[in-house]
Structure 1
Amino acid sequence: MRAVTETARRPWTPWRTVVAFGLVSLFADMVYEGMRSVAGPFLGTLGASALTVGLVTGAGEAVALVLRLVTGPWADHSGRHWRLTVVGYAMTAVCVPLLAVAPALGAAGVAVAAALILLERAGKAVRSPAKSALLARMAASTGRGRGFAVHKAMDQVGAFAGPLLLAGVAAATGVLWPGLALLAVPGAICLLLLLQLRRRVPAVADPDPDDAAERPAPDLAGEGRDGLVRRMVGADLPRELHLFSLAAALATAGLMTFGVMSYRFVEDGLVALAAVPLVYAAAMAVEAVAALATGDLFDRHGGRVLLVVPLVVAAVPPLVFGPTLLAVLAGVVLWGLATGVLDSTVKACVAELVPSRRRATAYGVFAAVQGLGALAGGALAGALATDHPLLLTGCVAVLQVLSFGLLARLTLSARRGRPAA
Structure 2
Amino acid sequence: MSNKKSALWFVIFLGVVSLCADATYEGARSITGAYLGSLGASGAVVGLVAGFGELIGYGLRIAIGFLSDRTRQYWRITTLGYAINTAVVPLLALTGTWQAAAGLMIAERTGKAIRTPPRDVLLSHGAMQVGRGFGFGLHEAMDQIGAVAGPLMVATMLSWQLGYRGGFAILVIPAILGLVVLLVVQRIYPNPRDFEPVTADLDTTGLPRLFWFYLGAIALIAAGFADFPLIAFHLQQTGVESTSQIALLYALAMGVDAIAALVFGRWFDRVGLWSLIVAVALSLGFAPLVFSGSFSWAIVGMVLWGIGMGAQESIMKAVVAGIVPAQRRGSAFGIFNTGYGLAWFIGSALMGMLYDYSRGALILVSMALQLAAIPALIWVSRQVRREP
TM-score by length of 2: 0.95
Match of 1:212 in 2: 199
Superposition map of 1:11-410 within 5 A: 13-103=6-96, 109-173=97-161, 175-204=163-192, 208-209=196-197, 211-214=198-201, 236-410=206-380
Cα deviation, residue 413, structure 1: 2.3
Determine the C-alpha separation between the residues in 2 that align with 1:368 and 1:120. 16
Deviations 1:198-232 (A, max 9, x none): 101132566942x5233597xxxxxxxxxxxxxxx
CA contact (8 A) 2:7 2:130 kept: yes
Letter in structure 1 aligned against 2:88: C
CA contact (8 A) 2:261 2:310 kept: yes
SS at match of 2:190: coil
Deviations 1:219-264 (A, max 9, x none): xxxxxxxxxxxxxxxx710111111111111101111000001100
SS at match of 2:110: helix
Match of 1:220 in 2: none
SS at match of 2:139: helix
Letter in structure 1 aligned against 2:281: L
Instruction: Check 1:375–1:294 CA distance in 2 against 1; reply closer, same or farther (3 A cut).
Output: same
Instruction: Check 1:169–1:276 CA distance in 2 against 1; reply closer, same or farther (3 A cut).
Output: same
Deviations 1:264-292 (A, max 9, x none): 01211112112111000000000000000
Determine the C-alpha separation between the residues in 2 that align with 1:207 and 1:16. 12
Deviates more, 1:173-182 or 1:71-80: 173-182
Determine the C-alpha separation between the residues in 1 that align with 2:371 and 2:150. 35
Letter in structure 2 aligned against 1:89: Y
- Bigger radius of gyration among the two: 1
Cα deviation, residue 341, structure 1: 1.3
SS at match of 1:13: helix
Deviations 1:274-333 (A, max 9, x none): 211100000000000000001100111111111124323421111111132111111111
CA contact (8 A) 1:264 1:386 kept: no
Deviations 1:25-46 (A, max 9, x none): 1111110000111110011111
Determine the C-alpha separation between the residues in 2 that align with 1:372 and 1:216. 27
Deviates more, 1:352-361 or 1:319-328: 319-328
Cα deviation, residue 64, structure 1: 2.1
SS at match of 2:207: coil
SS at match of 1:385: helix
CA contact (8 A) 1:251 1:313 kept: no
Determine the C-alpha separation between the residues in 1 that align with 2:280 and 2:115. 28
SS at match of 2:226: coil
Determine the C-alpha separation between the residues in 1 that align with 2:4 and 2:214. 34
Letter in structure 2 aligned against 1:280: Y
Letter in structure 1 aligned against 2:229: G
Determine the C-alpha separation between the residues in 2 that align with 1:341 and 1:64. 21
Cα deviation, residue 110, structure 1: 1.4
Determine the C-alpha separation between the residues in 1 that align with 2:138 and 2:183. 21
Deviations 1:42-80 (A, max 9, x none): 111111111111011111122222211100011011011
Q: Percent identity?
A: 37
Deviations 1:116-146 (A, max 9, x none): 1111101111000101001101121100111
Match of 1:222 in 2: none
